Each structure stands twice: as structure tokens, then as C-alpha cells.
Amino acid sequence: MGSKQSKRQTFIGVQQQDFSLEAEYQALCLNNQQDGAVVTFIGLVRDFNQGTQVKSLFLEHYSGMTEKCLESIVEKARGKWQLGRVRVIHRIGQLELAEQIVFVGVSATHRKSAFAACEFIMDYLKTQAPFWKKELSSSGDTWLETRQSDQDAATKWGA
Amino acid sequence: MIKILFFGQLREVLQTDTLELHIDELGKQPLNVAQLRAFLQAKNELWQEYLCSSRSLVAVNQTMASEKSPIAGDDEVALFPPVTGG
């Protein structure tokens, strides 16, 4: 698959508005007869500090670098596995508890590549893509810290 | 001019979102990330603390950079805390 072809098969969205799993699934499948596997992941806003009254989350990002970074993560995944379509959406701005925050969808000929690439993209996104979460709660606003487990998850794939 | 952007907690704590510096203000060249970091840290104790390499990452022209990455006179440099998206 040439890079022109793979570029056309990649969709990156950085947006305030919500996304629809059904619409994303359709975009991965429609007129796509060569791929036998679709894997999707959705991340939701959860209460990070259990016990405190978290009201919502604010997602800041570095416009321009975010899109470039997500594209480069997808290209890295395409270098490791034979993939069909890849769609990555990350929401920004203020989000309420339980709202959808991130979507990764991958189609491939076989399931193994689709599963692995979906996990790889999420692991890299969490440690590389320039997003910052601020928790807005009744006791004040708190910037979230990175977690070592996220670093370890990305490291396990090797550089 | 070198354009320097700050994000997340750094932007709030340092109360700065953008700085512009002429490369000649920064002393000897060629300039790298570590030297720019040291220059900014010299401002005061707060900047010293928050801009140390364990608390802030650097991107040059929107690509993640290392301490040795070179910086040219018209580059866009960004400083930010470790990322927490996803």
C-alpha cells in the first residue's frame, strides 16, 4: 500500500463535538470488502480522584502539533502492521463525567493486526499527544499527573 | 524571532502563554533545547522549578524534542508538562 493510499485511509479529528460509534463504524466498513476485522476503542471521562466531587474535565491541547502527532502515531502503526482504515478522534474543551473523550478505530484484513494497532495507537497517544486534562471539582481545579503505568504501556512496544 | 509557547499547568503557573526572543539574546550559538531551558530558568525560582527537565517536555516546530535538539532563530518552541490525554 503506497503512502498516498494510506493517507486517504486515515482520519484524524480533534474536536469539541461528540462522535457517534455507529457513524465511525460505518466509515470503517462502508465499501471496504478487503478488511475482515474492525476493532474500536472508546475512552470515557471518569472520576479520577475517587471521593472528591468531580464535576467535569477540561481538555487543553497544542493545536497543530496535536494533529501532526496523531498522524505520526498512525503512520508508526501502519509501519508495524498491515492496516486498512484508521480513524482517531480526540475531543477537547469541557467534558462532563461519562462523556466520550477518545475514539480509535482500525480495520485490517485479520483481527490480530487490528487489535494490536488499536492498543498501540492508544498507548502512544496517552504518552505522546499534547493533551492536558484539568479536573474541575467543587474543591477546586487540578491538573492531572501522568501515570507510570501509561509510560510503561507505551515503552513495552519499543521505540 | 524564536516563538515560545507554554501549555497546561506551566502556562497557568508561569502566567505566560507566549514569549518571543531574539536568538542573539540567548548568548552563544548554535543553540539547543538545554541552553534555552537554562536561559528561561534563570528568570526566577518559580521558572527554575517548573521548567526543569523532569517537569517539562519540549517540542521544536511541533515535534517532540530532546535536550540536544538544535533551535534556530525562527523556530516555534513549546514547553509543557508531561501529557495526560486519552
pLDDT digits over A11-62, tens only? 999 999 999 999 999 999 999 999 999 999 999 998 766 566 778 999 999 9
A53 touches chain B (CB under 8 A): no
Residues in B 16-55 with any Cβ partner in A closer than 8 A: none
Residue B41: per-residue pLDDT: 97
ipTM, interface predicted TM-score of the complex: 0.94
Domain limits, chain A: 3-138
Residue A83, exposed/middle/buried by CB under 10 A (0-12, 13-18, 19+)? buried
Give the architecture-level CATH label for domain B2-76: Roll (3.10)
The beta-carbon neighbor of A102 closest among B8, B80, B86 is: B86
- Phi/psi region, residue A89 (left: phi>0; alpha: psi -120 to 50; beta: rest), is beta
Say which CATH topology domain A3-138 has: Aldehyde Oxidoreductase; domain 3 (3.90.1170)
pTM for this one? 0.93
User: Hey, where are the domains in chain B?
Assistant: 2-76
Give the phi and the psi of residue A13 in degrees, each rounded to 5: -130, 125
User: So what's the pLDDT on residue A7?
Assistant: 54
Q: Does A49 touch chain B (CB under 8 A)?
A: no
